[in-house]
């Protein structure tokens, strides 16, 4: 019988303290808190949360084990479907996925599935809990003749695909363009939301224990082409998960002034290159006041990073708070930390000083008009509403467009109008044996959607390899 108590919220670092440091904001559950929260789950016979999860984690089952204090078992249940529980527990938009579907949420508060998943992921890591498939996969890898698969990119899509492929008896090599594995988990999401050494690195190490090889500093499309992976490196199939790509700008005047950067650049300096740490050689600049343009998770991450580097920070967004694409928790945290929100505001020009540095933004006020293709009311400029906002740095967090490197060097790979790679349901592209998934297919999305795409493609690749071995193809 489910415990009819209120939702147990995880403890957090005090807003006034955390805005001065890069340590993790949420402190997670203690064992007791986890057991208590887990006891709230109704254990629905037809759970709505599982199909709402892009990788279909067996949520009621892992929560039942957690409620009984069998945390290691809970970890094994999650591991069947997800290789990144400690990551997903921290960065998934649960309110629109598992928790959004939770029946308890209809009349009250949903089970805190995210924090429970995080707890279980952290527990198994801290206890050094070996995942059940490790030994088996290592043996299978030795026998993985004709089952060599290359994965391009070590972000969420690549990692989850590699995970399922390794469990399916493939010898997997992940090629990463940067010097560190993890993709957006390393370069994009800040330390205070997703600790690198204790969480990301450890979950990637788990994957290596399954026999997955990771080669950094290899840029597919440049160092090796997709064709070379087949012809020279001997792979049977390739999964392209090269990620989000090139940052978008607004194409307004003054955008190339000194002090205007993409959120990608700002976050890569701070996260991948650790510029927030004095020991790093990579410089980072903020100025006294920072304006972040955009309303997604990346905008929140950039704003909260700038704040921690000592800047007075504002978010500038052209719709209202209700339309902010960022996770509710990120918006809440950003506000608590003292970030100002300028809603219904759109920059029309970046203003510079005589030395070519940013001094501010010229903005217009917006109002919501007709519903547009995205189903949201589209913002329209209010006449004669221009005003100036002062800032010494402007961060553009407007999304990305696909990196053309692979498409332009791979003959016969079909891309769509937005330059995203075209695939079927299982991730198969127009090229035989070449699969793709994650942001390079969907356009910029979330960690968990990329992981879902990675899983589907892994299933597609396993089927492809079997059909090939059976001589069907």
Partner 1 sequence: MSIEKKREGLCAGAAGGEGSRGLIVEKRELAENIYLMRIYAPRIAKAALPGQFVMVRASEWGERIPLTISDYDAAQGTVTLVTQVVGMSSRLICRKAAGEQLTDIAGPLGRPSEFVHRTPEELAGGRWLFVGGGLGTAPVYPQVKWLHAHGASVDVIIGAKSAPLLIFRKEMEGVCKALHIATDDGSAGQKGFVTDVMRRLVDDEQQDYTMVVAIGPMIMMKFVAQLAQAYHIPSVVSLNMLMVDGTGMCGACRVTVGGKTQFTCVDGPEFDGAAVDFDEAMRRQNMYNELNVEH
274 touching partner 1, by CB under 8 A? yes
Interface residue with partner 1 among 45, 278, 417, 418 (CB under 8 A) is: 278
Q: Find the binding residues for partner 1 in span 407-466 (CB under 8 A).
A: none
Instruction: Kindly state the smallest distance separating residue 100's Cβ from partner 1, in Å.
Output: 31
Q: According to the 3-state scheme, what is the secondary structure of the chain?
A: CCCCCCCCCCEECCHHHHCCCCCCCEEECCHHHHHHHHCCCCCCCCCCHHHHCCCCCCHHHHHHHHHCCCHHHHHHHHHCCCCCHHHHHHHCCHHHCHHHHCCHHHHCCCCCHHHHHHHHHHHHHHCCCCCCCHHHHHHHHHCCCCCEEEEECCCHHHHHHHHHHHHCCCEEEEECCCCCCCCHHHHCCCCCCCCHHHHHHHHHHHHHHCCCEEECCCCECCCECHHHHHHCCCCCEEEECCCCCEECCCCCECCCCECEEEHHHHHHHHCCCCCCCCCCCCCCCCCCEEEEECCCHHHHHHHHHHHHCCCEEEEECCCCHHHCCCCHHHHHHHHHCCCEEECCEEEEEEEECCCCEEEEEEEEEEEEEEECCCCCEEEEECCCCCEEEECCEEEECCCEECCCHHHHHCCCCCECCCCCECCCCCCECCCCCEEECCHHHHCCCCHHHHHHHHHHHHHHHHHHHHHHHCCCC
x/- string (CB under 8 A) for partner 1, residues 365-404?
--------------------------------------xx
Which of 177, 300, 307, 324: binder of partner 1 (CB under 8 A)? Answer: 177
Q: Which position among 42, 61, 72, 178 is part of the footprint of partner 1 (CB under 8 A)?
A: 178
Among 160, 264, 297, 346, contact with partner 1 (rule: CB under 8 A) = 264
Letters for 196-235 (x = contact with partner 1 by CB under 8 A, - = none) are: -------------------xxxxx--xxx-----------
Residues 281-320 that bind partner 1 (CB under 8 A): 281-285
Tokens in use for 335? 């506000």
Q: How many residues are there in the chain? A: 473
Cα–Cα dist 250/396, whole Å: 8
Taking the least distance from each CB to partner 1, the nearer of 96 and 256 is 256
The residue within the footprint of partner 1, chosen from 114, 121, 195, 247 (CB under 8 A), is 247
Q: Which is nearer to partner 1, 249 or 341 (CB)?
A: 249
CB of 470 to partner 1, least distance (A): 33
- For residue 246, the minimal CB distance to partner 1 (Å) is 5
Shortest Å, Cβ 284 to partner 1: 8
With CA atoms as reference, report the closest residue to 257 among 403, 179, 359, 398.
Answer: 359
CB of 46 to partner 1, least distance (A): 43
Q: State which residue, 94 or 403, has the beta carbon closest to partner 1.
A: 403
Smallest distance from the beta carbon of 397 to partner 1, in angstroms? 12
Q: Which of 39, 66, 154, 268 binds partner 1 (CB under 8 A)?
A: 268
Residues between 336 and 365 with contacts to partner 1, criterion CB under 8 A = 355-356
Smallest gap from residue 299 Cβ to partner 1 (A): 15
User: How many residues form the binding site for partner 1 (CB under 8 A)?
Assistant: 45
CB of 421 to partner 1, least distance (A): 16
Q: Per rule CB under 8 A, is residue 239 in the interface with partner 1?
A: no
Task: With contacts defined by CB under 8 A, name the span among 34-42, 124-132, 280-288, 317-325 that binds partner 1.
Answer: 280-288
Please give the residue ranges that form the binding site for partner 1 (CB under 8 A).
177-179, 187, 215-219, 222-224, 244-247, 249, 251, 255-256, 258-259, 261-262, 264-265, 268-269, 272-274, 277-285, 355-356, 403-405
């Amino acid at each position: 019988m489910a415990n009819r108590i209120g939702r147990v919220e995880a403890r957090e670092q005090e807003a006034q303290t955390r805005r001065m440091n890069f340590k993790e904001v949420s402190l997670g559950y203690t064992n007791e808190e986890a057991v208590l929260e887990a006891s709230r789950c109704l254990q629905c016979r037809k759970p709505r949360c599982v199909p709402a999860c892009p990788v279909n984690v067996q949520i009621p089952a892992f929560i039942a084990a957690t409620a009984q204090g069998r945390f290691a078992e809970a970890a094994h249940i999650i591991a069947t479907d997800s290789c990144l529980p400690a990551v997903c527990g921290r960065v998934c938009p649960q309110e629109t996925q598992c928790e959004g579907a939770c029946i308890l949420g209809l009349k009250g508060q949903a089970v805190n599935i995210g924090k429970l998943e995080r707890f279980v992921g952290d527990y198994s890591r801290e206890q050094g809990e070996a995942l059940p498939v490790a030994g088996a996969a290592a043996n299978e890898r030795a026998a993985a003749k004709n089952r060599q698969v290359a994965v391009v990119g070590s972000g969420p899509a690549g990692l989850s695909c590699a995970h399922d492929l390794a469990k399916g008896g493939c010898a997997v090599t992940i090629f990463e363009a940067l010097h560190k594995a993890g993709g957006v988990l390393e370069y994009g999401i800040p330390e205070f939301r997703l600790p690198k050494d204790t969480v990301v690195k450890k979950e990637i190490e788990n994957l290596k224990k399954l026999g997955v090889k990771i080669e950094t500093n290899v840029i597919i499309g440049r160092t090796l082409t997709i064709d070379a992976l087949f012809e020279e490196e001997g792979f049977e199939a390739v999964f392209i998960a090269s990620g989000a790509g090139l940052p978008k700008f607004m194409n307004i005047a003054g955008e190339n002034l000194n002090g205007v950067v993409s959120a990608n650049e700002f976050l890569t300096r701070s996260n991948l290159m650790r510029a927030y740490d004095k020991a790093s050689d990579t410089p980072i600049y903020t100025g006294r006041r920072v304006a972040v343009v955009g309303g997604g998770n990346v905008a929140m991450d950039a704003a909260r990073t700038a704040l921690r580097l000592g800047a007075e920070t504002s978010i500038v967004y052209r719709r209202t708070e209700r339309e902010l694409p960022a996770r509710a928790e990120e918006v809440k945290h950003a506000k608590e930390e003292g970030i100002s929100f300028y809603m219904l505001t759109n920059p029309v020009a970046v203003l510079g000083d005589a030395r070519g540095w940013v001094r501010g933004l010229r903005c217009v006020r917006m109002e919501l008009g007709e519903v547009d293709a995205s189903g949201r009311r589209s913002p329209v400029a209010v006449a004669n509403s221009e005003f100036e906002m002062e800032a010494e740095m402007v961060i553009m967090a407007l999304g990305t467009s696909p990196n053309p490197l692979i498409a332009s060097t791979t003959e016969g790979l079909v891309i769509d109008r937005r330059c995203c790679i075209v695939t079927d349901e299982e991730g198969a592209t127009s090229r035989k044996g070449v699969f793709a998934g994650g942001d390079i297919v969907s356009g910029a999305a979330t960690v968990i959607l990329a992981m879902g795409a990675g899983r589907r493609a892994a299933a597609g690749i396993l089927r492809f390899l079997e059909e090939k071995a059976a001589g069907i193809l």
